[in-house]
Structure 1
């Protein structure tokens, strides 16, 4: 994959993440996830899905500070999302042996399933964007990247 395509995808991904934070109704994706997990009463937020994915993709212990930094959201927003994930048995919490106040999170089996579903959807979306990028030259995509980065600052 060409470097400019990766940059364009990253710019779109950043834009979508910011936009999604402000959208109240994400019914279709949430319904699909709930159906696959046999949890028809749960509507997952983008933040919750990204938290599960980050925990899944990282080998080191994950805490609220790491998640807040990676997602560029407040620790309070992370705590709120974590509490829902814990309530639905997606995560387990472990106290740090060296610092009893610090809590680390790991995925349960159910959480690993949710992370896998999220990753599949993420790859499908990325594939669609990569096909779209093939219609543009590198210089055209650079303009798109610049535009999206500037637009993202305005949101």
Structure 2
């Protein structure tokens, strides 16, 4: 069902969408500094989270790229994945994953293991530092999700339906 009306403020809406996309892009570029700032702002009642974050330094966080965080997340969520599995999961090249894993090995965030019957294939797991970074990443995803859900809960059902339609339509053209 298509609607036969023109949005009076379509130019303004277009500018808002572009502004939002730029905001998201800028936020992604500043992820590392945002993570450090968020760690400093952890509430005292989140002592368990704070304890986990004390296992890593600010430099550990600063030195990790967004791609490296995604690899850490993939390794943390899967039991002993290899380069091919990680590459498929993250839609990256095997060579790209090899480079990232090499950096993460040097930083002692992951460890490599070969199985006895297959000396060629390397499987990865997280070190204690890697586990702390994985938990950090998961914690902030959870916090961001909670913020968004709180926003979503302020909308009426028909507004949410319109938002779904808008996002689906936008995906078709972007």
- The TM-score with structure 2 as length reference comes to 0.62
Q: Distance in 2 between matches of 1:128 and 1:95?
A: 41
Number of paired residues?
Answer: 136
CA distance in 1 between counterparts of 2:38 and 2:98 reads 22
CA shift in 2, pair 1:52/1:99, >3 Å: same
**Contact 1:55–1:62, Cα closer than 8 Å, also in 2:** yes
CA RMSD across the alignment: 3.1
Q: CA deviation at 1:73?
A: 1.8
Name structure 2 gaps, 5 residues minimum: 1-20, 41-52
Of the two structures, which has the highest relative contact order with CA contacts closer than 8 Å and spacing of 6 or more? 1
1:85–1:132: structure 2 CA closer, same or farther, 3 Å change rule?
same
2:135 matches 1:116: yes
Larger radius of gyration: 2
Correspondence 1:4-153 to 2 at 5 A = 24-32=29-37, 36=53, 37-40=56-59, 42-58=62-78, 60-138=79-157, 140-145=159-164, 147-148=166-167, 151=170
How far 1:137 moved relative to its partner? 4.1
TM-score (norm 1): 0.69
Aligned position for 1:11:
none
Give the secondary-structure state (helix, strand or coil) at the position aligned to 1:121: helix
Displacement of 1:76: 2.1
Q: Is the 8 A contact 1:30 1:45 kept in 2?
A: no
